[in-house]
Amino acid sequence: MAAGLLPPPGAGTLASVLPSVVTALGSTRYAARPVLPLAPARRAVVVLVDGLGETLVRQRAGHAPFLRGGLSTAYSLACGFPSTTATSMGSFGTGLPPGAHGLVGYEVLDPETDRILNELSWQDGPDPFRWQPEPTVFQAAESDGIPVTRIGPGFFDGSGLTNAALRGGRFRAAYALGVRVDEALAAVRATPRALVYLYWGDVDKIGHVHGPRSIEWGEEVERVDAELARLVASVPADTAVLITADHGMIEIPFERRVDLADEPSLLGGVRHVGGEPRAVQLYCEPGAEQDVYAAWSERFGAAALVTRRAVAVREGMFGPPEQVEARVLPRIGDVLVSCIESIAIVDSRRMRPELLELVGLHGSVSEAETAIPLFHWPARTA
């Protein structure tokens, strides 16, 4: 496997963001880990803009004059694999790689029920506290005396993914971005030490529906850019502001999409299909793994990276091999298919029509999907 397809070592991933921030706030909790060298602060606001990949920011920087001004000092990070929201939220919230926190894809196998679990919606899913038992960085910060406030849409509060990946502190519900910024400012001003997390998801939604090269995407980024500028200008002097993302996005032409409903030969020996169109995870019938691997390798050739689970784990796709937990292994597909070229793999037998119509996609290992920025504005006084 090409080295460029692997997550970077050390502090170069999304998992390092919150441990680095908490360290800058004075905690020694993560002293043994490689963290980013952030300047000390008493308070911090961390914003995650879903889908705002680094490649997109640079390509469409004209829509984001404020963020464009921060590019020269921004860190370039990798979100990890697969480059999808559920996995990235696990990495962001726990400070661990996917193989350790266990949120290893958009749709993955629940070995206890032999059913595919959508880790984003968590519909009929397992107990999220058992599925992801590791403490989050928010919980660690609270234990270290740093009050935590999380701001997002009300339906996130108590959801399966939130409980699995982002639990800890108090939750403040708000819908419009301007209101979320107001809530963040109120929260950070309320206590002499604070960690405030703000999530915004519409950049990703618009990118999926209209494509990240669309007029609509640019207009949304303009709105977000203006509110982020207001946030940075309005926080107290001892407050750092950091802005990151969970993945990037690319557009895949509809004529470049392979529908499994039209290629039944690819489904021989496959018990379940999981993952997503740019990063398929195949769960095989007993004894069928080699045949499935061979069939998919022959079909896609250089257009996709076809990897068996053991190889993917050994080569670090889910983080350092020694950190991949035994409880997590059965959740990972027996065979992984990561699209390299401009293709996607869909399954009209089971995917909802609106999902088949999405223009923007992500999940695989390309730089456009995995590269994320970390903008940082240090505290003016510590």
Matching CATH number, 254-361, of 3.40.50.1100, 3.40.50.10800, 1.10.3720.10, 3.30.1360.180: 3.30.1360.180
Q: What sections of the chain are H helices per DSSP? A: 17-24, 54-59, 65-70, 85-94, 98-101, 128-131, 137-143, 160-165, 177-190, 202-210, 215-234, 289-300, 309-314, 353-356, 367-370
For the chain, domain boundaries? 3-103+118-251+366-377, 254-361
Strand (E) or helix (H) holding 276: strand 270-276
Quick one: which of 274, 267, 365 has its CA closest to 312? 365
Helices H, strands E: what count in the chain?
15, 17
Matching residue, tokens 């819908």: 175
Per-residue confidence (pLDDT) for residue 255, from 0 to 100? 97
Give, for all 382 residues of the chain, the pLDDT tens digit: 443 455 666 679 999 999 999 999 999 999 998 999 999 999 999 999 999 999 999 999 999 999 999 999 999 999 999 999 999 999 999 999 999 999 999 999 999 999 999 999 999 999 999 999 999 999 999 999 999 999 999 999 999 999 999 999 999 999 999 999 999 999 999 999 999 999 999 999 999 999 999 999 999 999 999 999 999 999 999 999 999 999 999 999 999 999 999 999 999 999 999 999 999 999 999 999 999 999 999 999 999 999 999 999 999 999 999 999 999 999 999 999 999 999 999 999 999 999 999 999 999 999 999 999 999 999 998 6
pLDDT in tens, 85-108: 999 999 999 999 999 999 999 999
Using DSSP, state whether 241 is helix, strand or coil: strand
Indicate the class that CATH gives domain 3-103+118-251+366-377. Answer: alpha beta
Q: How many residues does the chain have?
A: 382
- Do residues 48 and 198 make contact, with C-beta atoms less than 8 angstroms apart? yes
Query: Nearest-CA neighbor of 167 among 194, 200, 131, 129?
Result: 129
Burial class (CB in 10 A: 0-12, 13-18, 19+), 253: exposed
DSSP string, 170-203: EEEE--SHHHHHHHHHHHHHHSSSEEEEEEE-HH
Three-class secondary structure of residue 235 per DSSP: coil
Task: Give how far the C-alpha of residue 213 lies from the chain's centroid of Cα atoms, to the nearest Å.
Answer: 20
> Quick check: 95 and 18 in contact, CB under 8 A?
yes
Task: Count CB atoms within 10 A of the CB of residue 129.
Answer: 11
Give residue-wise pLDDT tens across range 207-259. Answer: 999 999 999 999 999 999 999 999 999 999 999 999 999 999 999 999 999 99
From 186, 196, 185, select the one nearest 235 (Cα to Cα): 185
